[in-house]
């Protein structure tokens, strides 16, 4: 989820005018969607061969078995599962694990907490994967220096760290200008992958026999223990498959599918089969499993250009992951899974280009520590895969509910399909789970921390809401009382933000208690996040009038949208409210939270929730309310 093809104009998000040619959309998809899976050939085949050799020699049948497994994995998981089925599950044009969760919530009313829990697991696993991708991708590309300039071997880690520091540093400036070159660079990259792979297939054309699933089946059954470990390494060829669905809203189904079928899939296969043919024809010279077959098969004149091109491609892949992390974090905030985060828009036209400082800092520090701690992409490969396979399991589980409850497909069709996907997902997941002690704990730890944060925020928010509602007064009763016996009236409009449509806002009660005055016009404002990514400006506001002095306004935003209250209230003029920002004051309640030993949450979790609440972005800034028009009234709540 990196560069959105939507822009915001007067609070109305509409589709960016499509390029005249489908080719431009396909080119854009190459640069955004396929960066991660497109850089997998640098390390995936190498790691699979090492696993297949079991630390010993590699046989011809093993090589054919590995490349056959890669071919069928890409075919069944990416092409069949994602292209043919998952891409159909769009939520008003948007994709991604949280969009899928929201789609299921809209069609399945039972057990909402279970669906929410599954969605939290998926989002958490995404962040677990997000810290590994930049580290392993850039590190594996820079390791090409070991072939072209062995004397620079000691500089691989420092160069990698320098590149990553630069990547994280430029995020605050936006990527709009740089993104223009993403597509062309990745097109050159895929052409190079396919071209050099095709060149080496002629080293041993018999490698094409691996298209026969017999070789994959024979490899799996001849030595199950070794094959099981190898499956975990083969999965590295599919990391990035989730991006096909995650970036659905940016390009649409057709460009993503055509880019895969016409360019990415053929070029990846050519490169993997080319590497296999190269190893088959040079087994004697290589003396075992090659260290870097991707680079070793290149002609000498292409080594330096390919190292540079690979580095650019891995930086692009990392950028796509970072942009996706920002987008998922924003969705999580809108869906109430995370506290409000400071979100900076880096483009005046492209609504999806955002920067979240806290997310960037956490990812940046974690990625740099991973590179310094693991030092080699081979070491990081053990940490890669668990989070991705877990995410794929979550996608398959939610897809079952979409097929059966939202699409209304017959179970006789749904069950065999989902069962087949689950068998493949579980095979890859169990093969990767054994790599926990070898480094897989990193992505699981990151996912666990994110999941714990989301769970704590959801649970704490519910307890806080229940706690505050106990002391609230019925809104209708307060309105009637004030209508009968109004206090001193002052000119202007007061807007009270509230999440409960039935209860009087705390800020109103405290204002009456301390100031003993009431504005001539009073508005109770509620912000609602819809279970869809975009809400049109025409559907943004609902206005209901209690009497001439009180009205209720509900503003609806999609979970992909950034709430802008003043701009949205401007639309209420068409609904009869003469909104004027210069005569309007916004009253907000600021709660001071204290941990209570009698809380339903453990004391440590209560304290963690308070830390999260204090770190939340200021509501005034988050909702784009002019600070000069805001009055904050504090209350203390034990939780």
Q: What is the mean pLDDT of residues 463-488?
A: 82
Q: What is the pLDDT of residue 162?
A: 94
582-592 pLDDT, tens digit per residue, is 889 999 887 78
Nearest to 306 by CA among 271, 348, 273, 352: 271
Within a domain: 3: no
DSSP class of residue 19 equals P
Q: What are 437's two structure tokens? A: 């002690």
Tell which of 396, 425, 459 closes a domain. Answer: 459
Q: What is the pLDDT of residue 9?
A: 39
**Are 81 and 391 spatial neighbours (Cβ–Cβ below 8 Å)?**
no
Residue 347 CA to residue 8 CA, distance in Å, equals 10
Q: What is the pLDDT of residue 223?
A: 86
pLDDT at residue 283 is higher than 90: no
Residue 421 CA to residue 428 CA, distance in Å, equals 11
pLDDT at residue 265 is higher than 80: yes
First to last CA, the chain: 36
Q: What is the pLDDT of residue 608?
A: 92
Q: What is the pLDDT of residue 352?
A: 58
Q: Is the dihedral of CA 14, 20, 26, 27 positive or negative?
A: negative
Shared-domain flag, residues 450 and 544: no
Q: What are 222's two structure tokens? A: 């001849």
2-40 pLDDT, tens digit per residue, is 333 333 333 333 344 344 467 888 888 888 889 889 999
Residue 484 CB burial class (10 angstroms; 0-12, 13-18, ≥19): exposed
Q: What is the mean pLDDT of the chain?
A: 86
How far CA 108 is from CA of 100, 233, 556, 584, in Å, comes to 12, 36, 21, 41
Shared-domain flag, residues 453 and 479: no
Shared-domain flag, residues 347 and 480: no
**Are 346 and 174 spatial neighbours (Cβ–Cβ below 8 Å)?**
yes
Shared-domain flag, residues 450 and 486: no
Confidence of residue 288 (pLDDT cuts 50, 70, 90): low
44-53 vs 224-234: helix crossing angle, rounded to 10: 170
Within a domain: 120: yes
Percent of the chain with pLDDT over 70: 93
Q: Highest-confidence range of 164-173, 248-257, 365-374, 540-549, by mean pLDDT?
A: 365-374
Shared-domain flag, residues 452 and 484: no
Q: What is the pLDDT of residue 377?
A: 84
Shared-domain flag, residues 408 and 508: no
The helix/strand/coil state of 365 is: helix
Q: What is the pLDDT of residue 286?
A: 62
Residue 110 CA to residue 253 CA, distance in Å, equals 30
Shared-domain flag, residues 504 and 392: no
Shared-domain flag, residues 161 and 226: yes
- Residue whose token pair is 């069944």: 76
Confidence of residue 287 (pLDDT cuts 50, 70, 90): low
Within a domain: 468: no
pLDDT at residue 240 is higher than 50: yes
543-571 pLDDT, tens digit per residue, is 888 888 888 999 998 887 888 898 888 87
Residue 16 CA to residue 25 CA, distance in Å, equals 12
521 beta partners:
493
Backbone angles phi, psi at 93, to 5 degrees: 90, -5
Residue 19 CB burial class (10 angstroms; 0-12, 13-18, ≥19): middle
Confidence of residue 71 (pLDDT cuts 50, 70, 90): very high
Residue 26 CA to residue 31 CA, distance in Å, equals 9
345 beta partners:
354
Within a domain: 63: yes
**Percent composition of the chain: helix, strand, coil (DSSP 3-state, to 5):** 65, 10, 25
Within a domain: 467: no
Q: What is the pLDDT of residue 159?
A: 93
Q: What is the pLDDT of residue 179?
A: 64
Q: What is the pLDDT of residue 242?
A: 85
**Are 478 and 506 spatial neighbours (Cβ–Cβ below 8 Å)?**
no
- Residue whose token pair is 């989070």: 387
**Are 31 and 209 spatial neighbours (Cβ–Cβ below 8 Å)?**
no
64 conformational bin, left if phi > 0, alpha if psi -120 to 50, beta if neither? alpha
Shared-domain flag, residues 443 and 548: no
395-427 pLDDT, tens digit per residue, is 999 999 999 988 999 999 999 999 999 999 999
Shared-domain flag, residues 420 and 529: no
Q: What are 169's two structure tokens? A: 């540093």
Output 576 or 543, whichever has higher pLDDT: 543
Shared-domain flag, residues 505 and 439: no
44-53 vs 60-73: helix crossing angle, rounded to 10: 130
CA angle 452, 341, 133 (to 5 degrees): 65
Question: Domain range for residue 478?
Answer: 473-638
Within a domain: 6: no
CATH of the domain at 165: 1.20.1740.10
610-626 pLDDT, tens digit per residue, is 999 888 888 888 888 88
Within a domain: 4: no
- CA torsion 101-106-109-115 (nearest 10°) is 0
Least confident of 259-273, 276-290, 562-576: 276-290
Within a domain: 184: yes
Output 133 or 71, whichever has higher pLDDT: 71
Per the structure, how many domains does the chain have?
Answer: 2
Least confident of 209-223, 242-256, 357-371, 398-412: 242-256
Q: What are 420's two structure tokens? A: 């087949």
pLDDT at residue 456 is higher than 60: yes
Output 45 or 346, whichever has higher pLDDT: 45
137-190 pLDDT, tens digit per residue, is 899 889 888 888 888 888 899 999 999 999 898 888 776 666 678 889 999 999
* 355: number of Cβ within 10 Å: 21
Residue 11 CA to residue 313 CA, distance in Å, equals 35
Tell which of 412, 432, 459 closes a domain. Answer: 459
Shared-domain flag, residues 120 and 217: yes
Nearest to 555 by CA among 493, 547, 570: 570
**Are 182 and 188 spatial neighbours (Cβ–Cβ below 8 Å)?**
no
Nearest to 305 by CA among 200, 381, 160, 195: 195
Residue 13 CA to residue 352 CA, distance in Å, equals 11
Confidence of residue 64 (pLDDT cuts 50, 70, 90): very high
């Amino acid at each position: 989820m990196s560069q959105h093809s939507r822009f915001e104009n007067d609070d109305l998000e509409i589709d960016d005018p499509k390029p005249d040619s489908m080719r431009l959309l396909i080119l854009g998809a190459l640069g955004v969607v396929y960066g991660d899976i497109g850089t997998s050939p640098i390390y995936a085949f190498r790691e699979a061969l090492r696993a297949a050799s079991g630390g010993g020699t590699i046989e011809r049948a093993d090589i054919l078995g590995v490349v056959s497994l890669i071919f069928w994995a890409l075919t069944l998981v990416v092409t069949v599962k994602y292209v043919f089925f998952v891409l159909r599950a769009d939520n008003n044009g948007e994709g991604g694990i949280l969009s899928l969760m929201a789609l299921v919530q809209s069609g399945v009313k039972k057990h909402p907490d279970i669906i929410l829990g599954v969605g939290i697991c998926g989002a958490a696993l995404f962040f677990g994967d997000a810290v590994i991708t930049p580290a392993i991708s850039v590190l594996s590309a820079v390791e090409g220096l070991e072939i072209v300039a062995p004397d620079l071997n000691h500089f691989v880690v420092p160069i990698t760290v320098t590149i990553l520091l630069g990547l994280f540093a430029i995020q605050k400036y936006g990527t709009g200008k740089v993104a223009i070159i993403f597509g062309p660079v990745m097109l050159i990259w895929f052409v190079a992958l396919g071209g050099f792979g095709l060149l080496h297939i002629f080293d041993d054309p018999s490698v094409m026999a691996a298209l026969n699933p017999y070789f994959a089946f024979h490899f799996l059954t001849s030595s199950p223990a070794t094959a099981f470990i190898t499956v975990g390494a083969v999965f590295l060829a599919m990391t990035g498959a989730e991006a096909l669905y995650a970036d659905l809203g940016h390009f649409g189904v057709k460009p993503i599918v055509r880019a895969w079928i016409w360019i990415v899939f053929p070029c990846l296969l050519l490169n993997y089969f080319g590497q296999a043919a190269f190893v088959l024809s040079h087994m004697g010279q290589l003396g075992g499993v090659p260290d870097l077959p991707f680079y070793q098969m290149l002609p000498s004149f292409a080594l330096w250009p390919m190292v540079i091109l690979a580095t650019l491609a891995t930086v692009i892949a990392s950028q796509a992951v970072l942009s996706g992390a920002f987008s998922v974090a924003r969705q999580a905030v809108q869906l109430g899974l995370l506290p409000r985060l400071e979100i900076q828009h880096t483009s005046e036209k492209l609504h999806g280009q955002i920067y979240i400082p806290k997310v960037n800092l956490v990812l940046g520090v974690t990625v740099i520590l991973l590179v310094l701690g693991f030092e080699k992409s081979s070491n990081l490969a053990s940490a890669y895969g668990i989070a991705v396979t877990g995410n794929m399991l979550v996608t398959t589980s939610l897809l079952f509910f979409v097929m059966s409850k939202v699409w209304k497909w017959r179970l006789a069709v749904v069950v065999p399909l989902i069962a087949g996907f689950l068998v493949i997902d579980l095979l890859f997941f169990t093969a990767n789970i054994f790599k926990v002690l070898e480094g897989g704990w990193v992505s699981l730890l990151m996912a666990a921390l994110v999941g714990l944060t989301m769970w704590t925020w959801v649970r704490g928010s519910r307890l806080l809401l229940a706690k505050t509602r106990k002391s609230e007064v019925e809104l209708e009763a307060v309105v009637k009382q004030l209508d009968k016996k109004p206090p001193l009236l002052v000119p202007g409009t007061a807007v009270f933000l509230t999440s409960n449509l039935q209860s009087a806002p705390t800020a109103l009660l405290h204002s009456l208690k301390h100031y003993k005055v009431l504005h001539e016009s009073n508005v109770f404002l509620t912000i609602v996040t819809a279970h869809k990514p975009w809400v049109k400006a025409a559907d943004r506001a609902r206005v209901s009038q209690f009497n001439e002095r009180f009205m209720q306004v509900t503003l609806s935003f999609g979970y992909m949208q950034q709430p802008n209250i003043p701009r949205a209230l401007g639309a209420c003029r068409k609904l009869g409210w003469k909104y004027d920002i210069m005569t309007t004051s916004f009253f907000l309640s600021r709660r001071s939270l204290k941990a209570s030993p009698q809380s339903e949450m453990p004391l440590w979790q209560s304290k963690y929730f308070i830390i999260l609440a204090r770190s939340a972005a200021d509501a005034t800034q988050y909702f784009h309310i002019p600070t000069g028009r805001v009055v904050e009234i504090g209350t203390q709540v034990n939780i």
